[in-house]
A = this chain, B = another copy of it.
């Protein structure tokens, strides 16, 4: 049994808990929280809930510690810190800062002979893998990544910070015509506006100026100004009833050519349609936790990403079983 620790019990931590239930070679050793452990009720039975202060006491009872905090402030500190004592997996997803995060984690993991897997999930994660496979198979080609339909937490938060907004959900939606253009092999150049639309469901405070809210959303730099954005004002009840989920997904396409005269076109497409973004991310993480443990057992220490993991290490099946059943 691979003994997993969870640090942080938000949506992602809960997703890891339920994913462990689906993997018979894994067990949840403990959940760690910065809050008072007595205030936290988890769903699995007979699993200790502990304060982060006691993490080091559990060093010998945990094979892999899964870090379920956020990329903005938690992980840049936590991953190097805990890579000192544990094999760790995180879902660090600030793409631009991955190189510096890697360096910080790698130094610590190498020095302490641990294995630290960073940026695991679907983007970064499975989407990255598909970009890589697409690029190596079709070196002459173009990459396309589309996101959605799904809830963007960052964009929803940005709307919630507007004066007069009580609550909000924002969906990122790929433009079907753009997807079809890519699938046709025409290698279109697509602007931000041509690739995605943004749909917002907003609950306004009583007496708020809805016109002004809509204007503020649609002109918000970086978040909405470069997109075709629609805003719907709805009741709090409707938001809860119709927009309570956290679905997401997207598409990675590689469009390329082969042949002595580059005469043949090829399209590789990978897509995800997810009812629960955090649970799917957690499911990817748990598979990579297995690989992390095994790589550490075999002396493969330091910081790793999905690019470094032989796929067979993700599965509980033996090499012979994999070749027989899945190859």
Contacts and interface: CB of A to CB of B under 8 A. Distances in A.
Interface of A: 15, 17-19, 21-23, 43, 95, 98-99, 102, 119, 124, 126, 128-133, 135-140, 183, 258-260, 263-276, 279-280, 282-284, 287, 290, 305-312, 314-315, 319-320, 322-324, 326-327
A258 B287 contact: no
B327 A307 contact: yes
A314 B280 contact: no
Given A98-B323, A102-B323, A258-B283, 9 more contacts: A99-B320, A128-B327, A133-B311, A258-B279, A259-B276, A266-B273, A270-B271, A307-B311, A308-B319
Nearest to A251: B269
A310 B314 CA distance: 11
The 5 nearest A-B residue pairs measured at CB: A264-B275, A258-B279, A307-B312, A264-B276, A136-B287
27 contacts: A15-B258, A23-B139, A95-B327, A102-B323, A124-B327, A128-B326, A129-B311, A130-B270, A137-B280, A258-B280, A259-B276, A259-B279, A264-B276, A264-B279, A267-B271, A267-B272, A268-B271, A269-B271, A269-B273, A270-B270, A305-B323, A305-B327, A307-B310, A307-B311, A307-B312, A308-B319, A309-B310
Contacts of A138: 283
Copies of this chain present: 2
Contacts of A311: 129, 132-133, 306-309
A178 to B, nearest CB: 17
A47 to B, nearest CB: 13
A268 B308 CA distance: 22
B183 A273 contact: yes
Question: Which has the most chain B C-beta neighbours within 10 Å: A43, A98, A136, A140?
Answer: A136
Most chain B beta carbons < 10 A, residue from A133, A311, A323, A327 = A327
Nearest to A101: B323
A138 to B, nearest CB: 6
Contacts of A132: 311-312, 314-315, 322, 326
